[in-house]
A and B are shown apart, each in its own frame.
Chain A
Amino acid sequence: MKNKKIVYFISNYGILFVFVAMFVLFSIYAPNFLKINNIFNVARQISTLGICTVGMSMVMITGGIDLSVGYQISLVNVCCAYMMAKAGINPIIAVALVILMGTTIGFINGVIIVKSGVMPLIITLAVLNVLNGLSFMISKGLPIFGFPKGFSVLGQGTIFGNVPISLIIMAVILVLGAFLLKKVYFGRYFYAVGSNEEAAKLSGINTGAVRILAHTLCGFLTAIGAVLLLSRTNSGLSSNGAGFEFNVITACVLGGVSALGGKGNIFGALIGCLIVGFLENGLLLMNVSAYMQLVVKGLLLLTAVCYDTYMIRNSERVKKIKAINANNEA
């Protein structure tokens, strides 16, 4: 029994060891990696990733994917920056409006996916381009800056001495997300829909609504992450979120959120974020070029996805063989 638990722990949290190993290696080889300033710096950078990962996890658990999060971030950045710097709108109202906008984008994604029945991959790929175009049209490709004072507090400010505010926000969202997935009824529906949609439907669950909800929450959380990013960088640029969906999906898959749906939790996703965040930071400190970083991250995602699919197939095969053997013995 104890043995079984250890095996269970390793197969579910093995990624934790990967993270620890990576952390130790960087501590040895990357200069300044272990400095407290560097750690908090990474924490600040990671907050956007962490928040978006919660949203993406929900979508992926229902069996979907959202490729448009990167350019959602861009559009939110550009719109929020435009409103504050060019239209003189109060930052609080601007932030509220762009969060509403992000939520709406997620909702629209969900509705199109459910109503059309087309693969989420294709739909969100198309939406990605629309959002990219819109953000360029608004910004004309130029950075927008000059925000009211105080806006930067969200992304740059600290509390309790040295702790970044953005880190606190991320932590709160992670806890809420974990709670939602574990305890709230529609959080459990996410798993049901992703794992066996037909069974969920037959049990009287409106599976379409569940998937729309997951996409809506993803849009909502992505917008929050985008506002933090804008506050940290202090400049609204239409390339701010380009390629960010890649980091988010890598973090999810590394953390055990299955690309096939029905599997994953927030703790794992957090570890995935930490790996992606510290990997970028560590490679930078070691003077590895940005292009090489892309290669490393790409290979990382490739490995994680193959591993995940292999494990799922393997467990199915083991189960089938076990069942056949049991039948033969009987």
Chain B
Amino acid sequence: MSDIILEIKNITKLYPGVKALDNVNLEFRRGEVHALVGENGAGKSTLIKTISGAVEPTSGTIIVEGKEFSSFTPSTSKENGIAVVYQEFTLVPVLSAAENIFLGDFIRHGWICDQKAMNVRATEFFKKLDIEIDPNEKVKDLTTGYQQIVEIAKALSKNAKILIMDEPSAPLTTNEVAAMFRIVNALKREGVTIIYISHRLEEVFLLADRVSVLRDGGYVGTKDINDTNKDDLIKMMVGRTLKETYPERNFAQDENVLEAKNLTGNGIKDISFTLKKGEILGFGGLVGAGRTELAELLFGRMPIKSGELYFRGKKFVPRFPSDSVKKGISLVPEDRKRHGLILPMSVKDNLTLAMIKRFSKGLIINKRAEVEYSNKYVASLNIKTPNIMARVRNLSGGNQQKIVLGKWLGTDPTVFILDEPTRGIDVGAKQEIYKLMTDIVKSGKSIIMISSEMEELLGMSDRMIILAKGRFSAEMKREEFNQAAILKYSSESVI
């Protein structure tokens, strides 16, 4: 009887052009809390997907309690006692807590559910977790923290021996996080192994027995929590060199284009910053730090509660996105497939979508002008498409992103807000997007860039603002950029 419950051996996962996991070896002991840390894109989520069977590794084996598997499906993963608590809960809001725990496996006599028995069992689970939840309460009436606990109890009801928690503290309030910690410790006492993924290093030190670090898809090392410290871990996490080349530039001028004073609302608290003409202002921070929420405020998608916004020195209150577009602020959203493009429509129709009025005489669209415009941008942005009538759905991510940019370029905006501009785009296309961004600032326009990629933030920003938990955490000039400092400010809980 070894006390290694789960072993990962030589796991490699290749995606076209990307090595997501590179020969990773890891061991998890029975009844330990094992933290997994690493930057965005380090391979953590691919690794847990491999363990949960959602992703099949290109090579390597997984050993659960001595049983060796070379391919691992979601059902074999479940059968071997592995459960994942994702950030997005898999609960049914209208059913009770108890019913959710036993969903798919109701306790019943013949056709009739034994709600009493389920409530009793659910209460037992909650007791084990040291928490009081009314098993009759509908899940939609529970707080996020309690919903997460129901999700954990659901995993336990399936006799999970290994519980993977992916950023469990992200959606929770401080009090809820404390309760969640208690539960993790209670589970540990029950002999459950917990694989805990978190960006917040202080949590790792509060909770974990051991911690493993991944970087660029490779395994860096595992440490006993008592033998390491925060700076040490950060050193292990970064140590990454800039692989890509970033265009040289400095076009920032003194003139302020956009100025925010004590902006509050939509989960954002008291944020002030200025954006200069010809500048790329980077916004860094963890997922959920409030960067996208800030963009929504600037773009008029969500109401500003208090604080002021000045556009070219004049007060500006964006109430609807159309207000912002009129002023010349455009947003390239994070999820381009859902919010940036109309996938079944053609390249031409997407490119001209935001300015179709300009091509129209009265109610009739001037098709020739439209075609001319589209051809011009397809050429100047180097969009690789068979012709302008091709459906956007069939193009690659990089080309799709260029079309979103092209859509706004035609409206000649002054400020671009780019939310994760190169997510899911291959290396070559990335370079082209970077060049495009450089051209944009060269022509005197300004860019706000939200990015979770450290390299991109470092390489593309002229100045950087780090957010944490909806608040301002730090501001850095280009010459002060420093990976370790950025990580530290990002994971800081600003109170």
Assembled-state Cα–Cα distance A198/B103 (Å): 12
Q: Does B104 contact A (CB under 8 A)?
A: yes
Q: Does A35 contact B (CB under 8 A)?
A: no
Assembled-state Cα–Cα distance A160/B428 (Å): 84
Q: Does B354 contact A (CB under 8 A)?
A: no
Count A-side interface residues using an 8 Å CB cutoff: 26
Contacts A185-B113, A327-B470 given; does A192 touch B95 at CB 8 Å: yes
Assembled-state Cα–Cα distance A330/B144 (Å): 14
Q: Does A149 contact B (CB under 8 A)?
A: no
What is the distance, in angstroms, from B495's C-beta to the closest C-beta of chain A? 9
Q: Does A205 contact B (CB under 8 A)?
A: yes
Query: By the criterion CB–CB under 8 Å, are A200 and B267 in contact?
Result: no
Q: Does B481 contact A (CB under 8 A)?
A: no
Query: By the criterion CB–CB under 8 Å, are A200 and B174 in contact?
Result: no
Assembled-state Cα–Cα distance A312/B378 (Å): 43
What is the distance, in angstroms, from B305's C-beta to the closest C-beta of chain A? 10
Query: By the criterion CB–CB under 8 Å, are A188 and B99 in contact?
Result: yes
Q: Does B115 contact A (CB under 8 A)?
A: yes
Contact with B along A186-208 (1 / 0, CB 8 A): 10100110111011101111000
Contact with A along B458-493 (1 / 0, CB 8 A): 000000000001100000000000000000000000
Residues of B within 8 A of A200 (CB): 92, 103-104
Which listed residue (B93, B103, B175, B266) contacts A330, Cβ 8 A?
B175
Query: By the criterion CB–CB under 8 Å, are B91 and A196 in contact?
Result: yes
Assembled-state Cα–Cα distance A194/B95 (Å): 11
Question: Which B92-125 residues have a C-beta within 8 angstroms of A?
Answer: 92-95, 99, 103-106, 108, 111-113, 115
Question: Which A158-188 residues have a C-beta within 8 angstroms of B?
Answer: 183-186, 188
Contacts A184-B113, A185-B106, A330-B173 given; does A196 touch B92 at CB 8 Å: yes
Residues of A within 8 A of B112 (CB): 183-185
Assembled-state Cα–Cα distance A205/B100 (Å): 12
Question: Which A254-298 residues have a C-beta within 8 angstroms of B?
Answer: 262-263
Across the interface, name the chain A residue whose C-beta is closest to B174. Answer: A330
Across the interface, name the chain B residue whose C-beta is closest to A204. Answer: B104
Query: By the criterion CB–CB under 8 Å, are B93 and A262 in contact?
Result: yes
Q: Does A6 contact B (CB under 8 A)?
A: no
Q: Does B269 contact A (CB under 8 A)?
A: yes
Q: Does A116 contact B (CB under 8 A)?
A: no
Residues of B within 8 A of A262 (CB): 92-94
Which listed residue (A202, A204, A263, A328) contacts B94, Cβ 8 A?
A263
Query: By the criterion CB–CB under 8 Å, are A327 and B469 in contact?
Result: yes
Query: By the criterion CB–CB under 8 Å, are A188 and B95 in contact?
Result: yes
Assembled-state Cα–Cα distance A202/B143 (Å): 22
Q: Does A324 contact B (CB under 8 A)?
A: yes
Contact with A along B69-105 (1 / 0, CB 8 A): 0000000000000000000011111110001000111
Q: Does A28 contact B (CB under 8 A)?
A: no
What is the distance, in angstroms, from B290's C-beta to the closest C-beta of chain A? 10
Residues of A within 8 A of B89 (CB): 199
What is the distance, in angstroms, from A191's C-beta to the closest C-beta of chain B? 5
What is the distance, in angstroms, from B409's C-beta to the closest C-beta of chain A? 33
Query: By the criterion CB–CB under 8 Å, are A204 and B105 in contact?
Result: yes
Contacts A191-B92, A199-B103 given; does A326 touch B113 at CB 8 Å: no
Across the interface, name the chain A residue whose C-beta is closest to B111. Answer: A184
Query: By the criterion CB–CB under 8 Å, are B113 and A203 in contact?
Result: no
Query: By the criterion CB–CB under 8 Å, are A327 and B106 in contact?
Result: no
Residues of A within 8 A of B269 (CB): 328
Which residues of A line the B interface, CB within 8 A? 183-186, 188, 191-192, 194-196, 198-200, 202-205, 262-263, 323-324, 326-330
A192-B92, A196-B93, A199-B90 known, 20 other contacts, Cβ within 8 Å = A183-B112, A185-B112, A185-B113, A188-B106, A194-B94, A195-B92, A195-B93, A196-B92, A199-B92, A200-B92, A200-B103, A200-B104, A203-B103, A203-B154, A204-B105, A262-B92, A323-B144, A326-B173, A328-B470, A329-B173
Task: Please provide the 9 A-B residue pairs with the shortest distance between their CB atoms, ordered closest to farther.
Answer: A203-B104, A330-B174, A204-B104, A330-B173, A203-B103, A199-B90, A195-B94, A324-B267, A192-B92
Which residues of B line the A interface, CB within 8 A? 89-95, 99, 103-106, 108, 111-113, 115, 143-144, 154, 173-175, 266-267, 269, 469-470
